[in-house]
Amino acid sequence: MADVIVIGAGAVGAACAYYAARAGLDVTVVDRGPVAGGTTGAGEGNVLVSDKEPGPELDLALLSNRLWRELAEVADFEYEPKGGLVVAETPEVLARLEELAGKQGVEHTRVTDLRDYEPHLAPGLAGGVHYPQDAQVQPMLAAARLLKAARERYGSLRLRTGVTVTGVLTSSGRVTGVRTTEGDILGGAVVNAAGTWGGEIARMAGVELPILPRRGFILVTEPLREPLVRHKVYTAAYVTNVASDSAGLETSAVVEGTPAGTVLIGASRERVGFDRTVSLPVLRRLAAQAVALFPALRDVRAIRAYCGFRPYCPDHLPVIGEDPRLPGLHHACGHEGAGIGLAPATGHLLAQVLSGERPDLDLTPFDPGRFS
């Protein structure tokens, strides 16, 4: 019998398992697919503080940012502290960006000559704000290598791929394990780290979690010989899109290079359920916005596109902590477009809860019971 059963081997589940194992707990991770086969394998790996409004999510992001740096010493997952550059088309937008940066209280620099930071940026932009703490990881490797590191260092972690959870077991009002396609697995606590499918797991346990998919497309270019884009670069519109409640299509250019030489171009946001059908208008808009930022991309070829489904909650905050409605059931899901960035803090705080410690951050804003 395990102390903790983690459902989901994405970035969040891996981080929960890592910190729980580090805390001395015996952990079993189950996933119906392979490791990192969910949204973790269908997004990007930005670890951002720059795009967060001041408040609980920014606090979580700052903690996570520090933890990612620590974890990069533990395992190799292409951690790159490359910094983010938010650019503004007009002086008015620039003023608002600076205002936000001031309120965030995060390390930043106002940039007037953008070409110093990004020589290939289009002319005519008003300026921007540089956030040195923004970083990038390879999310799939991060999830996989964290699980492996936990297995090797703490020895108390089992990873079971290809095992689907079909029910949550309870006894006298407490969670005692999970029912799976490979039989029952018993455990003292269950962590729902099923990402976009976290609502389904909750329902199996008889509780409601309003987690829904928000689709995003990414365009990938051919590998470039010379890096064209140094930072993660995005326009101010991204910040408002992230926080938007609109169900309609929103796109804003987010452009960055990867160690493999390709350029990733995101990111669209649409609420269309789990529809994988490729939307060419979305791809066209992403291309147009990227070219507007970096005109040299016009002659670079796109070779691939993919989409994923961000797990979002109505208030755009993740669900982290024990469910007040069902003791023993813990949630770590609903991180929307920031689940990679926020994974370590989520895992760390949840491991504190699981070990009966007081979490470093107040978890009230992320409380699973807040929707009822």
Ligand X SMILES: Cc1cc2nc3c(=O)[nH]c(=O)nc-3n(C[C@H](O)[C@H](O)[C@H](O)COP(=O)(O)OP(=O)(O)OC[C@H]3O[C@@H](n4cnc5c(N)ncnc54)[C@H](O)[C@@H]3O)c2cc1C
Write out the residues near other proteins by the rule CB under 8 A: 9, 33-37, 41, 140-141, 144-145, 147-148, 159, 161-162, 219, 221-223, 260, 262, 265, 275, 277-280, 283-284, 287-288, 290-291, 297-306
Residue type, 198: G
Binding mask 115-154 for ligand X (x = CB under 6 A): ----------------------------------------
Give the residue with the Cβ less far from ligand X, 108 or 269.
269
Decide which of ligand X, other proteins, none touches 159; Cβ closer than 5 to 8 Å per partner kind: other proteins
Q: To 5 degrees, how large is the angle CA 197–CA 202–CA 142?
A: 45
Q: Which is nearer to ligand X, 130 or 214 (CB)?
A: 214
Residues of 164-194 as b/e, b for ≥16 C-beta within 10 angstroms? Answer: ebeebbbeeeebbbbebeeeebebbbbbbbb
- CA end-to-end distance (rounded Å), the chain: 32
- Let me know: does 210 contact 16? Beta carbons within 8 Å: no
Site string for ligand X, 32-71 (x = CB under 6 A): xx---xxxx-xxxxx-------------------------
Nearest distance, CB of residue 341 and ligand X, angstroms: 4
Work out the widest C-alpha separation in the chain, in whole angstroms.
66
- Pick from 310, 316, 330, 331 the residue near ligand X by CB under 6 A: 310
Pick one of other proteins, ligand X, none as the site partner of residue 7 (Cβ within 5 to 8 A by kind). Answer: ligand X
Interaction mask 149-178, ligand X, x per CB under 6 A: ---------------xx-------------
- Residue 283 binds ligand X, judged by CB under 6 A: no
What gap in Å lies between CA 30 and CA 153, rounded to an integer? 20
From 83, 84, 177, 216, residue interacting with ligand X (rule: CB under 6 A): 216
328: alpha, beta or left, given left = phi > 0 and alpha = psi -120 to 50? left
| Residue number, 124 or 356, with CB nearest to other proteins | 124
CB count within 10 Å of CB 28 equals: 23
- Which among other proteins, ligand X, none contacts residue 302 (Cβ within 5 to 8 A by kind)? other proteins
Nearest Cα residue to 54 out of 94, 101, 88: 101
CA count, 13 A, side-chain hemisphere, 259: 11
Nearer to ligand X, 322 or 336 (CB): 336
Binding mask 263-282 for ligand X (x = CB under 6 A): ---xx---------------
Q: Quick one: which H or E segment has residue 251?
A: strand 250-257
Annotate 294-306 with b (16+ C-beta within 10 A) or e (fewer): beebeebebeebe
The residues of the shown chain that bind ligand X, judged by CB under 6 A, are 7-13, 30-33, 37-40, 42-46, 164-165, 193-197, 216, 218, 266-267, 308-311, 333, 335-341
